[in-house]
Structure 1
Amino acid sequence: MGIYIYRTLLQIVPVLFIITLIVFILVHVTGDPVAMMLPDTASAEDREILTQALGLDRPLYVQYYIFLSNLLQGDFGNSFRYGEAALPIVLERLPASFELAAASMLVACCIAIPFGIWSAVKRNSVFDLFISGVSVLGKAMPSFWVGIMLILIVAVQMGWTPVSGRGGFSYLILPAITLGTGIAAEMTRLVRSSMLEIIGQDYIRTARSKGLREMIVINKHALRNALIPVVTITGLQLTNLVGGSLVVETVFSWPGMGQLIVQAINSHDMAIVQASVFVIALMVILINLATDIAYRALDPRIKYNR
């Protein structure tokens, strides 16, 4: 495990290098940032002055070399839109995205794990069919519609929570439920199918033949092995939530990274885009590493290639 973690950490450097190269090229070929920053009435001389000031008159490889040199010092350049260093702006939005992602995953796990287990134990019963139907319905409902309905019913009509924004715990409830229910719909079916596979194994029948109570058989012997696929989907969903929950962030005016990235793309703010993608890529690598470690904790039989 130690060697595996060490090799994975060493792979971060080339992976991030490739990512920065791809993002740098894509950002530069999608449009002219000078045209985005200056009004239509700007003269050709004004455009030339700004182009030289930004260093955009140099060859791409020179710009990329300068970008990498600055990157090693933690400098992604200044944001065209905010007029400040890009990385602090991105890191300022990161806690809000983590907060929403963690709360959403907590909601999803609290719904999916118990209902998925119960649905597997009560296979082909009325409850199982009901849970399966609700899971399909939950997966089909768009997150923006769920969010709007929650705002209208819970926040506006009942007045239980704030409508939008970020503040205390009450501001987090509706966005977390909106994102969490969609993930729970998919995760519930995964927990159910995983549990059905596990409870049909020989060692589960052996545990039952020893006279152990059903709750002990399920919780102690079956659940731990059934959670391995759940850990996979949790890691994947967590990385998507941090940078990809744009719709929910827009509906609830949540100041996260998803909203920041789209605004930066629309305004062609290259520094913000590059810093955001770099931070998200680093988080994806670390979360995947944490997922692999969780595999080993759940099942010591899992081995990693050295």
Structure 2
Amino acid sequence: MNWILLRTGRALLTLLLLIGFSFFVLSISGDPALSHLSADVDASAIDAFRRKWGLDLPLWQQFFIYVRGLFHGDFGMSYATGRPALEQIMAGMPVTVSLMLPTIFAAIGLGLPLGAFAAMRRGSTADRLTITLSVLALAVPNFLLGLMLMYVFSVHLGWIEPSGIVDWRSYLMPVATMALPMAAIFARFTRSAMLEILSHPMLDTARAGGLQPGRIKRAHVLPNIAVPLVTITALEFGHLFTAAVVAESVFGWPGTGRLLIDSVASRDFAVVQAILLLTGTTMILANLLADIAYGAIDPRVRDQRRRRVKA
């Protein structure tokens, strides 16, 4: 329990640093008044805009007001629309989540079996093919992969609408764009982890003791591979939103990722700050839950942490 409290405290500290970093970096990146007003407005209009949004206050005071608003669920107002930033984000969040969930399931469902299959047949043609395909999937940028899929299945074959949400087929290309590189990471990581475990002396001891191969996998291989897989899953979960930004931009989906691109282009800092904060919080929470899960999966990790806390 002490270790969980320690990790939770570190997560909260990381969140505070994220809040400060995102606020100050965006604050020094330009004057929103000059971006949202026409070039021929007079100085009085610019001053009125700054007073309306509190931009005439000292930076430390703006930060204090911003943090105080966060405690009340207020992420600020959009300069462009005048609507609450959180309201705009929540409007596009269902679209983004509907992309992220099938993506992570597809990546795990494809990558883990391929990695395990390659590890069990090390040096075979299947192993080399898995490695080659994984390298290719990681080498191609997401946006280029999306454009390639669009050209083949929309322009050339005409099977799927190139942009927007029409029916269930509209999910195929965005999900594939996001899931294939992640599946490659899962496959390579699973293969490496399994090869390390399969070469461990404890498996030779288990075989010498007469244990069946299936029991060896359940008792020794799977528990030992679970911890590193939880790690990579938590890390990839944090990268999902980045992939969603690319996919939504390429395929014209009206999600939170597309909103981020539009807000950066229009210098709508309140919306950008809110998206960065929510995304960062999700990543911090995912890593915290992964850390806690380690102890539940592998008692050795839990015992080691207890000794560290006592020391």
Q: Normalising by the residue count of structure 2, what TM-score does the alignment of the two structures yield?
A: 0.89
The aligned residue for residue 269 of structure 1 is 268
Residue 295 to residue 166, structure 1, CA distance change in 2 (3 Å): farther
Q: How does 1:1-306 map to 2 (within 5 A)?
A: 2-166=1-165, 169-303=168-302, 304=305, 305-306=308-309
Spell out, residue by residue over 1:209-239, the C-alpha distance to the aligned partner (whole angstroms, 9 max, x if none).
3555544433553133123222212111111
The 2-side partners of 1:301 and 1:168 are apart by 48
Q: Is the 8 A contact 1:76 1:87 kept in 2?
A: yes
Code of the aligned partner of 1:16: L
Please say if residues 142 and 243 of structure 2, whose CA atoms lie closer than 8 Å, have aligned partners that are also in contact: no
AA aligned to 2:251 is F
Amino acid at match of 1:179: M
Runs of 4+ in 1 over 6 A off after TM superposition: none
Segment drifting more, 280-289 vs 92-101: 92-101
Aligned-pair distance for 1:159? 4.6
Whole-angstrom distance in 1 between the partners of 2:237 and 2:51: 41
Deviation at 1:120, TM superposition (A): 1.0
* Number of residue pairs aligned between Structure 1 and Structure 2: 305
Secondary structure at the aligned position of 2:300 is classed as coil
Distance in 2 of aligned mates of 1:97 and 1:300 = 36
Amino acid in structure 1 at the alignment position of 2:207 = R
Identity of aligned residues (%): 33
Kindly provide the CA deviation profile for residues 250-288 of structure 1, in whole angstroms up to 9, marking residues without a partner as x: 111223333222322221112112211221121112101
RMSD, aligned α-carbons: 2.2
Q: Mean Cα displacement is larger for which, 150-159 or 78-87?
A: 150-159
TM, length-normalised to structure 1: 0.90
CA distance in 1, matches of 2:192, 2:199: 11
Paired residue type of 1:228:
V
Alpha-carbon shift at residue 168 of structure 1 (Å): 5.2
Closer, same or farther in 2 for the Cα pair 1:222/1:167, shift >3 Å?
farther
Conservation of the 8 A alpha-carbon contact between 2:11 and 2:288: no
* Distance in 1 of aligned mates of 2:174 and 2:18: 30
* Matches of 1:92 and 1:12, distance apart in 2: 28
SS at match of 2:81: coil
- 128-137 or 292-301: bigger deviation: 292-301
Deviations 1:109-155 (A, max 9, x none): 12211111111111111221121111111111222222122223234
